[in-house]
Amino acid sequence: MGARVLIPTGALGMGFDDAALARALAMAPDIIAVDGGSTDSGPAYLGTGRSKYSRAATKAEWRRLMKARAEAGVPLVVGTAGTCGTDATVDWMAEITAELAAELGQKLTVARLYSDQPAERVATAMAEGRIRPLDPAPEVAEGDFARMTNIVALAGAEQIAAALATGADIVIAGRTTDTATIAALPLTRGVHPGGAWHGAKIGECGSLCTSHATSGVIVIDFDETGFTVEPGLEAARCTPRSVAAHMLYENADPFVLHEPGGHLDVRGAEYAQLDARRVRVTGSEWLPGDYTVKLEGARLVGYQSTILVTLREPRYVENAEAWVERLGGFLRREIERGMGLAEGDYALDFRLIGKSATLGALETSRVVPAEVGVLCIVTAESQERAGEIAKLANPWLLHFPLTDEEPQATFAFPFSPADWARGPLYEFTLNHVMRLDDPMAAFRLEVATVG
């Protein structure tokens, strides 16, 4: 038995075309699956356990999908709920779902799949030799896990299948692989495993694999030999090129995809144009292996304050690199004299916007622009200390001369006060996998009725 999966958008919060969704619903899908996050927006979301998108925007889009689910009478699954897929964002999404169920008059069974990893569990796994670093991985010791603010494991198809097996109308999953929510139902129905994972990878960004990248909706039919992908939007088309090219996206290796329990190899895949809009894919291979789940972690590094000053005087624009070099040395001495802080107690960074802010030392262009923005970034152990350092730097960012022998210069501050508190800085701490004897050993499933 095959399975028809409707993917409404690449990520909940990115929107989709209503006509495309209506057309896809009319095709009688077996499940609606959507991704709710990724690491792509950086470590702050995992660090804090918060969503990137506003609650109001998330609720508005989820309302449309809950109505679509009711119309189709099939399960609706969101993976990596609330950008980072922590227990806190699963609960946030469950709360939104309960509110909407009441507002829409829907009585629903909701399964929550939790992916948070207690520090002790991961430390024990490390002691037992069940943690393996990927390349490149940050150094990590058993004692470091307790200092991470959140650790999650990426669930695969097995955990999503377990959530679906509860008979839930809606599954709200914590961190999952991008593909798991799409592959889970087809795999439980015994479709071609290579086709299931390959189709899930092609579908994980919704309509990005079609001619109309922003329309959102696609429908994938999984069967015993492969899969067929079709855009939701009437005007959109899939071509062998648009489909195959999606394997390149956000993937270091375009032919191999690692998942819990094995890996996908698409080197033998064949892409065929079925008609004007649909592409059929066969020949992808699933190779079973150890059951490992990827881990993600984040920790608080410090707090930041910033000041932006712009230089328009041509001599300063041309010599901006020398200016910040001289200014940095001066400020470090002043910070030591005024606050008693050594260089290792804080960090002072400058980014030259217009010259090298994006690429830093790798920049090869030597074009001299009309103006340069100097973004001064202070990182310290507390927000108060970062703010104190920024305030100490403030008058010098405004007036510091290029040489000792010149009249006082003054530069452009866009704001008053010039410094602003950017808040905490988090960093990713793990690029590791954890071996499990039982796929559910690191995940927790809760079922409730709402509405």
x-or-dash string of contact with other proteins, 282-301, rule CB under 8 A: --------------x----x
Binding status of residue 272 toward other proteins by CB under 8 A: no
Give the rounded distance of the alpha carbon of 14 from its chain centre: 13
Instruction: Please calculate the CA angle 420-334-360 and round it to the nearest 5 degrees.
Output: 60
Backbone angles phi, psi at 224, to 5 degrees: -75, -15
Instruction: Please calculate the CA angle 101-102-104 and round it to the nearest 5 degrees.
Output: 65
Number of residues in the chain: 451
The distance of closest approach from Cβ of residue 245 to other proteins in the complex, given in angstroms and rounded to an integer, is: 6
Nearest partner of 384 among 427, 337, 424, 351, judged by Cα: 424
Q: 103: helix, coil or strand?
A: helix
Nearest partner of 112 among 141, 90, 143, judged by Cα: 90
- Contact at 8 Å (CB) between 133 and 292? no
What six digits make up the tokens of 313? 């005087």
The distance of closest approach from Cβ of residue 79 to other proteins in the complex, given in angstroms and rounded to an integer, is: 16
The distance of closest approach from Cβ of residue 137 to other proteins in the complex, given in angstroms and rounded to an integer, is: 8
How many chain residues bind other proteins (CB under 8 A)? 43
The distance of closest approach from Cβ of residue 298 to other proteins in the complex, given in angstroms and rounded to an integer, is: 9
The distance of closest approach from Cβ of residue 394 to other proteins in the complex, given in angstroms and rounded to an integer, is: 21
Q: Whose Cβ is closer to other proteins: residue 252's or residue 276's?
A: 252
Specify the stretch interacting with other proteins by CB under 8 A; choose among 162-170, 229-237, 349-357, 410-418: 349-357
The distance of closest approach from Cβ of residue 319 to other proteins in the complex, given in angstroms and rounded to an integer, is: 21
Binding status of residue 339 toward other proteins by CB under 8 A: no
Binding status of residue 42 toward other proteins by CB under 8 A: yes
The distance of closest approach from Cβ of residue 248 to other proteins in the complex, given in angstroms and rounded to an integer, is: 5
List the interface residues with other proteins, window 424-443 (CB under 8 A). 425-428, 431
Among 63, 249, 263, 328, binds other proteins (CB under 8 A): 249
Q: Whose Cβ is closer to other proteins: residue 1's or residue 134's?
A: 134
Binding status of residue 139 toward other proteins by CB under 8 A: no
Q: Whose Cβ is closer to other proteins: residue 136's or residue 407's?
A: 136
Q: Whose Cβ is closer to other proteins: residue 162's or residue 331's?
A: 331
Give dist(CA 193, CA 188) in Å, integer.
10
Give dist(CA 57, CA 86) in Å, integer.
19
The distance of closest approach from Cβ of residue 427 to other proteins in the complex, given in angstroms and rounded to an integer, is: 5
Binding status of residue 379 toward other proteins by CB under 8 A: yes
Binding status of residue 362 toward other proteins by CB under 8 A: yes
Q: 112: helix, coil or strand?
A: strand
Binding status of residue 420 toward other proteins by CB under 8 A: no
Binding status of residue 150 toward other proteins by CB under 8 A: no
Give dist(CA 446, CA 236) in Å, integer.
39
- Contact at 8 Å (CB) between 6 and 160? no
> CA–CA distance from 124 to each of 142, 152, 159, 442 (Å)?
8, 15, 22, 12
What six digits make up the tokens of 194? 């290579």
Binding status of residue 253 toward other proteins by CB under 8 A: yes
Binding status of residue 136 toward other proteins by CB under 8 A: yes
Give dist(CA 415, CA 305) in Å, integer.
14
Q: What are the start-end ranges of the E strands in 312-443? A: 347-353, 372-380, 419-428, 432-435
Q: Whose Cβ is closer to other proteins: residue 56's or residue 252's?
A: 252
Give dist(CA 286, CA 186) in Å, integer.
14
Binding status of residue 367 toward other proteins by CB under 8 A: no
Pairing relationship of beta strands 270-273 and 285-288 according to DSSP bridges: unpaired
The residues facing 6 across adjacent strands are: 32, 219
x-or-dash string of contact with other proteins, 213-242, rule CB under 8 A: ----------------------------x-
Binding status of residue 344 toward other proteins by CB under 8 A: no
Among 56, 105, 129, 135, binds other proteins (CB under 8 A): 135
Q: What are the start-end ranges of the E strands in 98-207? A: 108-114, 131-133, 150-153, 170-173
Q: Whose Cβ is closer to other proteins: residue 23's or residue 422's?
A: 422
| Residues at the contact surface with other proteins, assessed by CB under 8 A | 39-44, 134-138, 241, 244-245, 248-255, 296, 301-302, 347, 349, 351, 357-365, 379, 425-428, 431
